[in-house]
Amino acid sequence: MNLYIVMYHYTRDLLHSRYPEIRGMDVLTFKEQISFLKENFNVVEMEQVLDALDGKCELKKNSCLLTFDDGYIDNFTYAFPILEENGLQGSFFIPGKTIVEHKLLDVNKIHYILAGTGNISELLNDVYERMDYYRDGYDYPPNDELFKEYAKSNRFDTAEIIFIKRMLQMALPEKVRNRIASDLFEKYVGVSEEKLAYELYMTEEQIKTLKRHGMYIGIHGYDHYWLGNLEKVMMENDVMKALEVMEPYIDKNRWVMNYPYGNYNEDVINLISRNNCSMAITTKVSVADIDKDNRFELPRLDCNDFPPKSNTYMNF
């Protein structure tokens, strides 16, 4: 049976926000989209999907599941009331670090750096300069070699932007990535990271409120790493730490994984299945088929694939 799993990130009043260039869904668009989905799809709850996976029930035709990544406060402020008003459930995937440490995740640092610069070639130069500067004492390939390997455009970003993202997300050694991201954050954003972290992520109290109101809470790693790229021990530590931190909000015998950056490998699947994970969602772009797909590799569509943004969902 087909299941349209819809992926959301930022949902906010973009025009009146401090960073209107950040790529998110405006609250009015979100409201329209929810009306559209409610009218044209059968919006299901996570528990129904898990029951269907276990053969305890069947999903209706055109079922759709709403997923929100990264634990943003704007999901709480803007999306949650609209979901409530419509009697719909959202599933929220919170990186453990955001509620424990109040530090910005790399993924967000990079979003804000990109939103803060109007000039990608200047930013690219800055990245190159710093990659050269920090190369002493660390071991990573020459800049042009890395560019060749990682600068691959996708359906939302140019090759240059993907290159910058990959360098700062995973390709460079972690210490180097962090130093460069902090340098650039200071140059292009200029707000303290801690302050922005408090502005950006949900608090534990807010997550509890979501849960009390029937929303579903899932796992999105602890540090928001590319799990499939980590050494096995580090990968295991990250997932287990996430489970520990999120224990108040999840059922440890029946939980759902959302791989950060959609990245995973066999080891990750083995670990989560051994630890009673019931299903996992990726960023592979497609409609899920819960009878045929591997339950630990379910694909999703982006919110931009649905009206009022586009009709791309029809192509799948």
CA distances from 108 to 79, 111, 169, 174 (A): 19, 5, 10, 16
What are the structure tokens assigned to 207, written together? 């997550």
Question: Under rule CB under 5 A, how many of the chain's residues touch Zn ion?
Answer: 3
Question: CB of 141: closest distance to Zn ion in angstroms?
Answer: 26
Please say which residue, 70 or 305, places its beta carbon nearer to Zn ion: 70
Question: CB of 157: closest distance to Zn ion in angstroms?
Answer: 15
What are the structure tokens assigned to 272, written together? 């989560």
Q: What are the residue ranges of helices labelled H in the chain?
A: 27-40, 46-53, 73-74, 80-85, 96-100, 106-116, 120-135, 143-150, 159-166, 174-188, 193-200, 204-212, 232-245, 266-274
Question: From residue 239 to residue 278, what is the string marking binding to Zn ion with x (rule CB under 5 A)?
Answer: ---------------------x------------------
Please say which residue, 71 or 116, places its beta carbon nearer to Zn ion: 71
- Compute the distance between CA of residue 239 and CA of residue 226 in angstroms, rounded to an integer: 11
Spatial CB neighbours of 28, under 8 Å, sequence gap ≥ 6: none
Question: CB of 262: closest distance to Zn ion in angstroms?
Answer: 9
Please say which residue, 53 or 94, places its beta carbon nearer to Zn ion: 94
Residue 56 burial (10 A CB sphere; 0-12, 13-18, 19+): exposed
What are the structure tokens assigned to 116, written together? 């803060």
Which residues ranging from 190 to 209 are in contact with Zn ion (CB under 5 A)?
none
Which of the ranges 34-42, 69-77, 185-193, 267-275 carries the binding residues for Zn ion, by CB under 5 A? 69-77
69 sits near Zn ion (criterion: CB under 5 A): yes
Radius of gyration of the chain (CA): 19
Question: CB of 75: closest distance to Zn ion in angstroms?
Answer: 12
Q: 5, 48, 67, 70: which one contacts Zn ion (CB under 5 A)?
A: 70
Please say which residue, 180 or 257, places its beta carbon nearer to Zn ion: 257
302 sits near Zn ion (criterion: CB under 5 A): no
- What is the contact surface with Zn ion in residues (CB under 5 A)? 69-70, 260
